[in-house]
Amino acid sequence: MFKKITLTLAMLVCIATTAVAQKTIVFAVDATWPPMEFVNSDKQIVGYSIDYMTAAAKAAGFTPVFKNVAWDGIFAGLATGKYDAVCSSVSITEKRKKAMDFSTPYFKVRQALIVAKDSSVKSLADLKGKKVGGQIGTTGYFAIKAADGVEPKSYDEVGLAMEDLKVGRIAGVVCDDPVAANYAMEQYKDSLKIAATIETGEVEYYGIAMKKGNKETLELVNKGIEAVSKTSYVQELQQKWIGQ
């Protein structure tokens, strides 16, 4: 009996010390962006970004906590301090940089246009006068808005846009290419296809977003990303989640 109690106490002390020694960073994740971050059938938040950040946390010595937050308003929550950082495939843009700080880039994307399988559309320019959907507040949606003569339509989640595209309410969807590939080649492989990567679009990089001036978190995350990016784990993740 006494042995048991001491053992339990010893364990508690161990847990407590590691908890004290390691800073916890709470990441907000909009887990509707497969394969980068999504909720699997066990209700766990999984994906490329999650694995990447977990590895980075191990390397830099902090405890990551992932919190599922709706995309619309994810930056508002960051500004009001509901969590420390946003790890949710956030493309680094000039506009966003004014409102928040970004870590070192950890992933490269382009915007891809998805259309119905039987469509002959080759680019956004072919969709003049038609409705094209994207997730609200994403770079994909901004690309649609920037395109000439296309009617932009914003959705809460990219999955809803895909569903509307499948049933023919809109003519196309624009989103990050790994997500586009996931939808067009797996979930909707019978009805949708990738028509093009947006030709005018520049290369974008994902970064971890942080409240402006949060140096401590920024340094820790950067340290982690740097450590992971040098290892072969990145290729492993690419293989595991994206498969190219």
Partner 1 sequence: MGNKQVIIEVGDGAAIPSPRDKGLFTAWRISFFGTLAIIAYLLLFRPDPYLDIIKFLPDGIVVTFQVTIASISLAIVLGLIAGLGRISRNRLFNLAASTYIEIVRGIPLLVQLFYIYFALGHLIRVPDMLAAIIAMGFCYGAYMGEVFRAGIKSIDEGQTEASLSLGFNRSQTMRYVVLPQAWRTILPPVGNEFIALLKDTSLVSILAVSDILRRGREFASESFQYFETYTMVALIYLLITLILSKLLSILEDRLSHYEQR
Residue 117 in 3-state DSSP? coil
Helices 215-229, 48-60: inter-axial angle, 10-degree rounding: 100
Rounded least distance, CB 149 to partner 1, Å: 17
Rounded least distance, CB 193 to partner 1, Å: 19
Q: Based on CB atoms, which residue is closest to partner 1, 163 or 226?
A: 163
86 binds partner 1 (CB under 8 A): no
Residues 151, 129: contact at Cβ < 8 Å?
yes
Residue 107 in 3-state DSSP? strand
Q: Kindly provide the residue ranges of all beta strands, DSSP E only, lying in the chain, ordered along the sequence.
A: 23-29, 32-33, 37-39, 45-46, 62-68, 85-91, 101-102, 107-109, 111-116, 131-135, 151-155, 172-176, 192-197, 204-210
Give the integer Cα–Cα distance in Å for 178 and 110.
9
Rounded least distance, CB 169 to partner 1, Å: 5
Q: Based on CB atoms, which residue is closest to partner 1, 154 or 229?
A: 154
Q: Based on CB atoms, which residue is closest to partner 1, 52 or 89?
A: 89
Q: Using CB under 8 A, which of 104, 163, 229, 233 touches partner 1?
A: 163
Q: Using CB under 8 A, which of 7, 11, 13, 79 touches partner 1?
A: 79
Shortest CA distance to 36 belongs to which of 137, 158, 164, 201?
Answer: 158
Residues 131, 151: contact at Cβ < 8 Å?
yes
Q: Based on CB atoms, which residue is closest to partner 1, 166 or 193?
A: 166
Amino acid at 103: S
Interaction with partner 1 in 123-162: which residues (CB under 8 A)?
131, 133, 136-137, 142, 153-156, 160-161
Give the integer Cα–Cα distance in Å for 244 and 230.
19
Per-residue binder mask for partner 1 (CB under 8 A), 39-78, x = binder: ---------------------------------xx-xx--
Q: Based on CB atoms, which residue is closest to partner 1, 42 or 94?
A: 94
Q: Which residues of this chain interact with partner 1, rule CB under 8 A?
A: 72-73, 75-76, 79, 95-96, 99, 131, 133, 136-137, 142, 153-156, 160-161, 163-164, 166-170
